[in-house]
Amino acid sequence: MAFYQIIDILGTIAFAISGVLVAMEKRLDLFGVVIVAFVTAIGGGTLRDFLIGNVPVVWMRDLTYMITILTTVVLAIVFANQLKYLRKSLFLFDTIGIGLYTMVGIEKGLQAGLLPIICIALGTITASFGGVIRDILCNEIPVIFRKEIYATACIVGGAFYFFLLLFPIPEAYAYSAGFIVVIGIRLLAVRFGIRLPNIYRDKKL
């Protein structure tokens, strides 16, 4: 299995777990848990593949993704008691997921011969939109549309990856650094309460 596919699978697992945790918090039935986990794991990648014309989308051509998601759902349900403090667990897996998927989306854009800025946009879409669909299905305002640093972390991490490529260092190092920057920014933003400005402050609508 290629390095980038391994990263893709790891991102799929992380987002599937975050989907299971949200669905369990909302007390959905088994079918609901599976659906929420599925769309969380593949929603962003599906949109990305449509945008670059990579159809049928990857999870329709490779059963590895379906098997991975279903296996993850089963294991997450079985070990639900071990995944204590659900919100902390959800945050952890969601953060890992956006880091991994940002870099997967960028790589897909590079393979399609797109400009770096478009690759960063694809990485952000891949990382963010599965969570958007998850939150909408669970009747939540998607985190990407709130003040929390989320998509911004993807953008900065992706930009840092391309910045490092300007120097004579192995691409794998730049790839890993981009992933770490995404996760680091997200963790630091939550830890220290760093948020984007609220444009509605002191305004009456």
Residue 177 within any structural domain of the chain: yes
Range of the domain at 118: 3-191
CA separation for the pair 80, 82 (Å, rounded): 5
Convert the pLDDT of each residue in 61-71 to its tens digit: 999 999 999 99
Say if 39 falls within a structural domain: yes
Q: Tokens 């599976």 sit at which residue? A: 34
pTM for the model: 0.88
Q: How many residues does the chain have?
A: 205
Is 196 within the bounds of a domain?
A: no
Q: Which two tokens stand for residue 20?
A: 């299971």
Residue 203 falls inside a structural domain = no
Number of domains in the chain: 1
> SS3 of 198, please?
coil
- Whether residue 98 lies inside any domain: the answer is yes
Structural domain includes residue 120: yes
Is residue 200 situated within a structural domain? Answer: no
Give the 3-state secondary structure percentages of the chain, helix then strand then coil, rounded to 5. Answer: 75, 0, 25
Q: Is residue 165 exposed (0-12), middle (13-18) or buried (19+ Cβ within 10 Å)? A: middle
In which band, very low, low, confident or very high, does the pLDDT at 82 lie, cut at 50, 70 and 90?
confident
pLDDT by residue (tens digit) across 90-106? Answer: 788 888 999 999 999 99
